């Protein structure tokens, strides 16, 4: 009895139960299930209220902790390299599975012709290289904070954190301690918000299923199953094998420890909302140092989107097959590059993913069929977010191990003995 009570007291289990109940209620009530929508809205708004301040102070803390270290450059370059390489590999896997399983072949065009629209074409333009660089630099950091411009917040907070690390020790340590105290307070607040996660998830699922149902899923059923398979391969084989190869954590241990943050990511569809749970798991269970976790995880929640990259690549192949577009090698390269860059620019908050438009346009694929997917965007978003936060955690474990190895090699024997 006590064991069952403890099991039901687990937030992850509660969220899964809420998802199942919300789905059942939505299916039974239909559009009337919108009455539960405020529960989801309140939950998401509470998360959005807290995640921007949390990301800001966590990045300052992480950058301040690493900025005065000889390993700072290595941590930054390894983190960015990991995110870029894994996103590109994710797109390549998506393209391979799309070519092998052909999810867009055999779709009944006449049955879905009425859903076609070109109204999203204007949202498909990717900024140029220099527009991206200049757009990352805030002219008013307070405006960036209130507007939720994640990339601008990231740049300022990292710069500010490094500046703190360069102060004299007597002036630096009180500031870092103060920032760390704010991080702890923010994590406490988000953990309290997560107590109502089951109610919020129930409301979100009931409204989504009641409004859209699963009729749209039958049209893209093959795409959905191929997409889930690609996510599972990358999340339960790809990332764990990378962790085992480049750290002291085994693949089995990594998979086991990541269950809780994956369930939370699946329910909230937000890397940012899952950040406190991911940080707790990475630091306390995977034993990554706070300075590494505080730098890598907020950065990953902002720019590491392997799940999005898989989505972009598969959707491109799906519509190419659906409209009988013969993709050239140049088109495949365009899909990989645009998907990788687009994934980096995707903020870690739930919502429709219009960046897929840019991927389709880059490869010369018609975009008229996109409304087929928008009704199910929440479902796709939930699944890809679980992969995104898994990649963040894998990166933190690997980077921390590489830095630890370098410290152990360069550190004097007497200091190593003292640390031990």
Residue 135 scores a pLDDT above 80: no
Task: Give the chain's largest Cα–Cα span.
Answer: 75
Lowest mean pLDDT among 35-44, 96-105, 222-231, 263-272: 263-272
Query: Is the CB of residue 387 less than 8 Å from the CB of residue 234?
Result: yes
Residue 319 tokens read as 């519509």
The domain in which residue 109 lies consists of 2-419
- Selection from 124, 160, 155 nearest residue 139 by Cα: 155
Domain count, the chain: 1
Of 69, 291, 61, 53, the C-alpha closest to 175 is 61
Please state, in angstroms and rounded to a whole number, the distance separating the CA atoms of residues 390 and 233: 12
Distance CA 406, CA 400 (A): 10
Q: What gap in Å lies between CA 338 and CA 360, rounded to an integer? A: 9
End-to-end CA gap in the chain:
42
Among 78-82, 97-101, 266-270, 339-343, the least confident range = 339-343
- Give the least confident one: 19-23, 200-204, 255-259, 374-378: 374-378
Helix ranges, 113-213 (H): 129-135, 141-147, 150-165, 169-193, 197-212
- Residue in the block written with tokens 């199910």: 376
Q: Which residues have C-beta within 8 Å of that of residue 53, sequence separation ≥ 6?
A: 145, 186
Per-residue pLDDT tens over the stretch 291-327: 889 889 988 887 788 998 898 899 889 988 888 888 8
Tell me: the pLDDT tens digits for 236-286?
Answer: 999 999 999 999 999 999 999 998 899 888 877 788 778 888 998 999 999
Tokens of 102: 């052909």
pLDDT band at 43 (very low <50, low <70, confident <90, very high): confident
**Beta carbons of 354 and 198 less than 8 angstroms apart:** no
Q: What does pTM read for this prediction?
A: 0.76
CATH at 379: 1.10.3860.10
């Amino acid at each position: 009895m006590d064991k069952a009570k403890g099991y039901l007291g687990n937030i992850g289990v509660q969220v899964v139960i809420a998802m199942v109940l919300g789905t059942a209620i939505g299916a039974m009530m239909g559009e009337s299930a919108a009455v539960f929508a405020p529960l989801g809205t309140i939950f998401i708004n509470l998360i959005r209220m807290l995640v921007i301040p949390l990301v800001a102070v966590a990045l300052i803390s992480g950058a301040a902790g690493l900025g005065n270290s000889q390993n700072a450059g290595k941590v930054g370059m390894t983190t960015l390299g990991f995110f870029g390489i894994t996103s590109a590999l994710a797109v390549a896997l998506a393209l391979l599975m799309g070519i092998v399983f052909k999810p867009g072949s055999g779709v009944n065009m006449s049955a879905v012709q009425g859903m076609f629209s070109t109204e999203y074409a204007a949202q498909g333009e990717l900024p140029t290289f220099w527009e991206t660089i200049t757009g990352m630099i805030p002219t008013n950091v307070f405006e960036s904070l209130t507007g939720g411009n994640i990339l601008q917040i990231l740049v300022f907070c990292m710069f500010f954190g490094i500046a703190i690390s360069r102060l004299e020790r007597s002036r630096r340590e009180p500031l870092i301690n103060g920032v760390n105290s704010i991080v702890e307070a923010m994590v406490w607040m988000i953990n309290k918000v997560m107590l109502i996660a089951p109610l919020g998830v129930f409301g979100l699922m009931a409204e989504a299923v009641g409004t859209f149902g699963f009729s749209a899923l039958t049209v893209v059923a093959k795409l959905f199953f191929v997409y889930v398979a690609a996510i599972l391969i990358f999340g339960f084989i790809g990332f764990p094998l990378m962790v085992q190869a480049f750290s002291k954590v085994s693949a089995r241990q990594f998979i086991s420890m990541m269950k809780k943050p994956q369930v939370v990511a699946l329910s909230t569809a937000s890397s940012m909302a899952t950040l406190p749970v991911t940080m707790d798991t990475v630091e306390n269970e995977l034993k990554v140092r706070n300075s590494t976790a505080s730098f890598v995880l907020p950065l990953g929640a902002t720019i590491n989107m392997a799940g999005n990259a898989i989505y972009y690549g598969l959707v491109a192949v799906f519509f190419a097959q659906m409209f009988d577009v013969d993709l050239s090698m140049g088109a495949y390269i365009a899909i990989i590059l645009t998907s990788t860059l687009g994934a980096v620019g995707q903020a870690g908050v739930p919502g429709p993913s219009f960046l897929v438009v840019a991927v389709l346009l880059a490869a010369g694929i018609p975009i008229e069929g996109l409304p087929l997917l928008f009704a199910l965007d929440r479902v796709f978003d939930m699944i890809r977010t679980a992969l995104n936060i898994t990649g963040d955690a894998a990166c933190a474990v690997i980077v921390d191990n590489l830095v630890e190895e370098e410290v152990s090699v360069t550190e004097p024997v007497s200091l190593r003995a003292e640390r031990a």
